[in-house]
């Protein structure tokens, strides 16, 4: 009688331990997957440059400001379906401040432009553009900009501190990647 009671309580205790253990495991799995999710989510304010599974570099606006700054004045023709007239309603004037993408890449490793042939630029909204390395190597073509008319670029969420990739040879601005968050070298 006493023994039965003892066994029953022992059984209850081990079930309790088992349930506790399972709950801890579940919590750990959920915790790690959340951590993984948040570290892989792209965020504005930081430009991550990657290749394959690895990260080659990561730049904030403050980091880019330490590199040689260039001012780029340009008129971008927007909303041109078939023909672009000189109608000012169809164009916007920009006075960007930024730095040459080639300089950023060379700063990480001057061999990158030989090792890779393409760059995929992505915005926080997953808009993406493929750049040929030959375009990037042109002396005055591809820039990462962080200000327009001296004011910080606005993020998709409406805050300050956005980055944008501009291709000066693209007069329509369709290939400009706004809200830039990553560059993937291929």
Instruction: By CB under 6 A, name the binding residues for ligand MTE.
Output: 78, 123, 125, 127, 173-174, 176-179
Which residue, 1 or 41, has its beta carbon nearer to ligand MTE? 41
| Tokens standing for residue 140 | 């005055």
| Tokens standing for residue 127 | 């808009």
- Binding positions for Mo ion, 117-176, rule CB under 5 A: 174
Q: Which does 179 bind (CB under 5 to 8 A by kind): ligand MTE, Mo ion, none?
A: ligand MTE
Is the Cα dihedral 158, 126, 75, 146 positive or negative?
Answer: positive
DSSP class per residue in 118-184: EEEEEETT--EEEEEHHHHHSTTSEEEEEEETTEEEEPTTS-EEE-EEEETT-TT-TT-BSSEEEEE
Least separation in angstroms between residue 72's CB and Mo ion is: 20
Q: Which does 12 bind (CB under 5 to 8 A by kind): Mo ion, ligand MTE, none?
A: none
- Residue entry with tokens 């005055």: 140
Q: Do the bridges between strand 91-100 and strand 70-77 make them parallel or antiparallel, or are there none, so unpaired?
A: antiparallel
Which residue, 174 or 186, has its beta carbon nearer to ligand MTE? 174
Q: Which residue of the chain is nearest ligand MTE when measured via CB?
A: 123
Least separation in angstroms between residue 175's CB and ligand MTE is: 7
Q: Which does 127 bind (CB under 5 to 8 A by kind): Mo ion, ligand MTE, none?
A: ligand MTE
**Residues near Mo ion, by CB under 5 A:** 174
């Amino acid at each position: 009688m006493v023994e039965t009671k003892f066994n029953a309580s022992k059984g209850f205790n081990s079930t309790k331990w088992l349930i506790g253990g399972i709950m801890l495991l579940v919590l750990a799995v959920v915790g790690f997957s959340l951590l993984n999710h948040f570290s892989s989510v792209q965020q504005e304010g930081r430009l991550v440059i990657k290749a394959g599974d690895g990260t080659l570099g990561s730049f904030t606006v403050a980091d880019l400001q330490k590199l040689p700054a260039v001012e780029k004045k340009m008129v971008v023709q927007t909303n041109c379906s078939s023909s672009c007239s000189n109608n000012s309603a169809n164009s916007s004037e920009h006075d960007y401040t930024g730095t040459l993408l080639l300089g950023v890449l060379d700063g990480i490793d001057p061999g990158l432009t030989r090792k890779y042939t393409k760059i995929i630029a992505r915005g926080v909204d997953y808009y993406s553009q493929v750049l040929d390395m030959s375009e990037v190597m042109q002396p005055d073509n591809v820039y990462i900009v962080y200000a327009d008319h001296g004011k910080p670029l606005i993020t998709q969420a409406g805050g300050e501190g956005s980055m944008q990739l501009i291709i000066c040879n693209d007069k329509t601005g369709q290939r400009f990647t706004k809200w830039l968050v990553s560059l993937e070298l291929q």
